[in-house]
Amino acid sequence: MRVAVRVRPGASRTRVGGWYGDRLVVAVQERAVDGAATEAALRALADALGVRRRAVTLVAGATSRDKVVEVDDVPGLAEAVQALGDAAAR
């Protein structure tokens, strides 16, 4: 499954949740230097979805805040992504 994400580097804490338009927000503490924020975002997304880091692959947006990632399909993945996005609205 492909997931569009919006990375917010330099956050006070790492968290996954909320929407930026139609993109899932991933806030990370790491700065956008030498891919550190991208790697941190992939790790955070994997943790939030309950999958291993190697199950999350960057497809597009290596140097952009807007990224597309591929997540290996597991049961309930679409619902988990939706729940993470909606979590900030509560």
For the stretch 24-46, pLDDT in tens is 999 999 999 999 999 999 999 99
pLDDT at 47: 94
Strand order of the β-sheet with 2-8 is 15-20, 23-27, 2-8, 66-71, 56-60
In this predicted structure, the answer to whether residue 52 has a pLDDT above a threshold of 60 is yes
Provide the token pair at 86: 């909606």
Predicted TM-score (pTM) of the model is 0.91
What's the average model confidence in pLDDT over 59-80?
Answer: 91
Domain limits, the chain: 2-87
Residues 76, 90: contact at Cβ < 8 Å? no
Looking at domain 2-87, its CATH architecture is: 2-Layer Sandwich (3.30)
pLDDT at 89: 57
- How many residues appear in the chain? 90
Q: How far apart are the first and last CA of the chain?
A: 25
pLDDT at 55: 94
